[in-house]
Structure 1
Amino acid sequence: MLQNTGYSKTEVTGISIAKFVHPDDKKRVIESHQKRIAGVETEKMYSVRVIKKDGNIMWVSINSARIEWEGKPAVLSFLHDITEAKILEEKVKQNEQFFRAVFEQSPSGIFMFDNNYIVTQCNNRLAQILNSSIEKIVGLNLKRLKYKEVIPYFDRALNGEEVIYEGPYYSTTGDSKIWIFIRIFPIKDEKDNIISGVGIVEDFTGFKETQKALTESKQRFSQIINFLPDPTFAIDKNGKVIMWNKEMEEITGIKSEEMLGKDNYEYALPFYGKKRPILINLVLNSKEDIEDNYISFQRTTQNTLIGESYSPKLDIYLWGKARPLYGVNGNIVGAIESIRDITTIKDTERKLTYQKKCFEALFKNSTDAIVFFDTNHRVIDINSRFTELFGYTSEECIGKDVDRLVANKENYLEARKLTETVFKGNMVETQSVRYNKEGKPIDVRIKSVLVVVNGEVVGGYGIYSDIREQKKYERKLKILSIHDQLTGLYNRTYYEQIIENLSHSNQFPITIVSTDMDGLKLVNDTLGHSKGDEILKNYAKVLKRSVRQSDILARIGGDEFVIILPYTDEESGEKVLKRIRENIKDYNKKHPRLQLHISMGIATASNKGVSILETYKKADDLMYRDKLQRRKSARSQIISTLMAALTERDYITSGHVKRVKKLSIILGEKLNLSSKQLSDLTLLAEFHDLGKVGIPDKILFKEGPLTEEEWEIMRQHPEKGYRIAMSSPDLSGVADLILKHHERWDGNGYPLGLKGLEIPIECRILSIVDAYDAMTSERPYSRKKSKEEAIEELKRCSGSQFDPKLVKIFLDIIGDNN
Structure 2
Amino acid sequence: MKDKIIIITAEKKMEQKLEPLIRELGDRAVVTFSSGEKAAEYISSKAGQIDLIILGSFYEAGVFSYQFAEKIKSKYQLPIIFLNNNTRSFDSKPEFKAADLILSLPENELEQKIFKHNLKEFLNNHQIKKHCQLNQYSLDSLSAHIAVLDENGVICYTNKAWEDFARENALTPAESGLGINYLELLKNADEAENAADILAGIKKVMAQESDLFSFEYPCHSPENERWFKLRVTPYKGEGPFSAVVAHENITERKKAEKELEVLNQEYESIFNNVQTSIFLLNVDNDQKITYQSLNSIEENLTGIKSESIKGKTPVEAFGKEIGSEIENKYRSCLVKKESIEYQEKIDLPGGLKYWHTNLSPIIVDGKIEKIVGTSLDITESIEKEKKLEAIFKASQNISFIITEATDDKKESFIREFSPGAENIFGYSREEVIDTPVSKLHCKSEIRQFPNMHTLIEDNKSWSDEVTLIRKNGEKFTAMFTVYPLSDYQDEKLLTLGVAIDISERKKVEEELKKSKKLYQGLIESQNDLIVRVDSENRFIYVNDAYCELFGKTREELIGSKFTPLVHEDDLESTLKAMKALNKAPYRAHMEQRAMTVDGWRWISWEDNAILNEMGEITEIQGVGRDITHLKETEQALKESQRKLEQLISQTTAVIYSYQVVDGKHEITYLNENVENILGFKAEDFIGREEFHLSCVHPEDREILKEKIAKVTIKDASVDEYRFKDKEGNYHWLYDQQKVISREGGVIKVIGSWLDYTAEHNKHKAKIDKLLYTDVLTGLNNRKCFEEKNTINKLNQKNNLPLSIIKADINGLKLINDSYGDDLGDQFLIKAARILESATPEKTLIARWGGDEFLAVLPQTDKTEAQKIMNKIRDKMDHSYIEKTPVSMGLGKATKFELDQSIEAVLKEADDLMYQNKLLEKRSEKSKIVESIINALAAKSDETKEHAVRMSRNARKLGRRLGLDHSELDKLSLLAKLHDIGKTTISEEILSKPGKLDKKEWEIMKNHPRVGFKIANASSEFSVIAEDILSHHERWDGSGYPRGLKGEEIPYLARIISIIDAYDVMTNERPYTEAINRIEALAEIKRCAGSQFDPEIAEEFIAMLSGE
* TM-score normalised over the length of structure 2: 0.31
Larger RCO, structures 1/2 (Cα 8 Å, 6+ apart): 1
Larger Rg over CA atoms: 1
